[in-house]
């Protein structure tokens, strides 16, 4: 199963009042394993960067001034995400900006049925706890020491690890009772190599006739075993 974990950085909180998307980072998962494929881009928002927003992600108006417009990169983005489910933390925020930008350049919006919100998942698993990305990474032992400021690609990579933990960990694809289990093995590289390895399901375990006979012979040598007390009569 292919899924895309993504994160965005913006000029503010509401695209309806003029805020714009300035960065997007997407990480590809196949069967809950990172393939090494990613999409990352900065965008020129064509508006000033508020001081408060710059303090969060460190992206200045000057830095973004020579970056492409969202419309210039929309084809590459849509090709990368395809029709896969899209995973984000507080996903309604990221979907709101993504769909606003898509609509602004005449593209179809992403259906909300594709949305997977790790914030909602975390709230169900850990009610009453802290649910920020930082807090959840600490809970699950995910190294975020290199995260000084918010960054869309870095946060998407951290979220991909968190998503795997929230949905059952690395063994999620292995199930007992099936004849064959497929596990995706990936080699992280600019051109990721994806291969399949066939893993046999756990085979039935039962004693052979020889083992049963040896067991009977052993039991006969026991002197008044406890489990036979009261059996006579």
Q: Which residues are catalytic?
A: 150
Note whether 96 and 21 are within 8 A (CB): no
Cβ of 36: how many Cβ atoms within 10 Å?
A: 16
Tokens found for residue 229:
């007390």
Residue 34 β-bridge partners:
29
Helices (H), 115-151: 118-125, 133-139
Which is nearest to 132 in space by CA: 118, 145, 153?
A: 118
Cβ of 46: how many Cβ atoms within 10 Å?
A: 10
């Amino acid at each position: 199963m292919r899924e895309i974990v993504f994160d965005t950085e913006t000029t503010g909180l509401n695209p309806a009042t003029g805020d714009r998307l300035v960065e997007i980072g997407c990480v590809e998962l196949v069967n809950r394993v990172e393939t090494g494929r990613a999409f990352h881009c900065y965008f020129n928002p064509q508006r000033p960067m508020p001081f408060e927003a710059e303090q969060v992600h460190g992206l200045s108006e000057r830095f973004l001034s020579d970056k492409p417009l969202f419309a210039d990169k929309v084809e590459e983005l849509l090709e990368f995400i395809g029709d896969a489910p899209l995973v984000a933390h507080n996903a309604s925020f990221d979907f709101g900006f993504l769909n606003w930008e898509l609509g602004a350049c005449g593209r179809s919006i992403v259906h909300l049925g594709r949305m997977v919100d790790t914030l909602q998942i975390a709230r169900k698993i850990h009610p009453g706890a802290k649910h920020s990305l930082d807090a959840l990474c600490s809970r699950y032992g995910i190294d975020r020491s290199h995260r000084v400021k918010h960054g869309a690609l870095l946060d998407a990579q951290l979220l991909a690890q968190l998503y795997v933990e929230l949905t059952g960990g690395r063994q999620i694809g292995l199930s007992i009772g099936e004849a064959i289990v497929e596990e995706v093995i990936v080699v992280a590289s600019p051109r990721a190599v994806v291969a399949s390895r066939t893993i046999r399901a756990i085979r039935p375990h039962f004693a052979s006739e020889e083992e049963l006979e040896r067991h009977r012979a052993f039991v006969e040598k026991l002197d008044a075993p406890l489990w036979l007390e009261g059996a006579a009569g």
